[in-house]
């Protein structure tokens, strides 16, 4: 095998080689300072490439055999990529697009990771959200059942009908030809603030005074039972809160970058895809 002699050379010796491939430098993916381990048909495989693959595969620096296996894998990939380029595939629009997207995705992921490392969430940030959630949830939870309506106006008319005709919740469902749907237990922190305030004032057996919007439906809600709610321990929610805060931060970063970007339409959208 062509690489067998090379792979017998210790990795620390390979790291002494220097890069110098003009075409790879032109792509912006290889820097003059990158250490070049081997060239395949004149195209380089660098130490940062190997280190990246080691991180992905979980290979430690002390695992010399594993490192050499990965280097051999990179050489094989490089050889096939070279063959594809010689065949003209690198010039095909679809392939160029896929490579560009992959490049953008890599920069996106690594940039987010760096920002999170440089600006880690503090324990105070997480505790503040926990305290807010506990406050919103209150000290009670409610067992509810619902009647779904397709729009808000229908639900409001049904509420008025209950008051005017003195219909019970069950009678209203029967008259409307709808089915009562048991939901189970919820707390005030799981619904919008306005509905939460109304539900807190609702006694067992009563219907909440406003409908609840949920999954493109409007629900009339009856409280069938109320019981005390014990707040979960901070330790039980901490990891979930951290994940949500990090997601919120990423969304804010994306929005900020989008708003700051100079976006210049070059082709009307109705012409995209046309020959």
- Amino acid 267: pLDDT: 78
Rounded Cα–Cα distance for residues 173 and 162 (Å): 10
* Nearest partner of 26 among 74, 83, 90, judged by Cα: 90
Residue 54 has pLDDT above 50, yes or no: yes
Mean pLDDT of 225-235: 94
- Amino acid 93: pLDDT: 95
Delineate the domains of the chain, giving CATH numbers in brackets.
Answer: 4-87 (no CATH), 139-228 (3.10.50.40)
Q: Tens digits of per-residue pLDDT, 117-133?
A: 999 999 999 999 999 99
Rounded Cα–Cα distance for residues 251 and 249 (Å): 5
What value does the mean pLDDT of the chain take? Answer: 88
- Amino acid 259: pLDDT: 96
Mean pLDDT of 85-98: 95
**pTM score, two decimals?**
0.65
Residue 18 has pLDDT above 60, yes or no: no
Mean pLDDT of 61-70: 95
Whether the Cβ atoms of residue 249 and residue 180 lie closer than 8 Å to each other: no
- Amino acid 125: pLDDT: 95
Q: Tens digits of per-residue pLDDT, 136-183?
A: 999 999 999 999 999 999 999 999 998 888 889 999 999 889 999 999
Whether the Cβ atoms of residue 45 and residue 75 lie closer than 8 Å to each other: yes
């Amino acid at each position: 095998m062509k690489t067998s002699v090379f792979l017998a050379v210790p990795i620390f010796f390979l790291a002494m080689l220097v890069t110098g491939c003009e075409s790879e430098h032109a792509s912006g993916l290889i820097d003059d300072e990158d250490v070049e381990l081997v060239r395949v048909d004149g195209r380089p495989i660098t130490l940062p490439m190997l280190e990246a693959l080691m991180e992905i595969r979980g290979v430690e620096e002390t695992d010399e055999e594993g490192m050499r296996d990965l280097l051999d894998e990179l050489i094989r990939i490089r050889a096939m990529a070279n063959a594809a380029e010689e065949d003209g595939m690198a010039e095909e629009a679809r392939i160029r697009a896929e490579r560009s997207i992959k490049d953008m995705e890599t920069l996106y992921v690594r940039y987010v990771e760096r920002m999170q490392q440089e600006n880690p969430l503090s324990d105070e940030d997480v505790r503040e959200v926990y305290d807010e959630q506990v406050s919103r949830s209150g000290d009670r939870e409610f067992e509810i059942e619902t009647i779904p309506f397709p729009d808000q106006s229908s639900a409001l008319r049904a509420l008025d009908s209950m008051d005017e005709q003195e219909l019970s919740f069950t009678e209203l469902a029967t008259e409307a030809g709808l089915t009562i749907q048991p939901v189970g237990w919820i707390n005030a922190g799981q619904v919008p603030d306005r509905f939460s305030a109304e539900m807190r004032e609702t006694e067992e057996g009563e219907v909440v005074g406003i409908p609840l919007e949920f999954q493109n439906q409007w629900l009339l809600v009856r409280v069938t039972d109320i019981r005390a709610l014990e707040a979960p321990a901070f330790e039980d929610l901490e990891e979930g809160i951290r994940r949500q805060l990090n997601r919120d931060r990423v969304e804010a970063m994306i929005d900020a970058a989008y708003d700051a970007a100079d976006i210049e339409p070059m082709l009307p959208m109705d012409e995209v895809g046309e020959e």
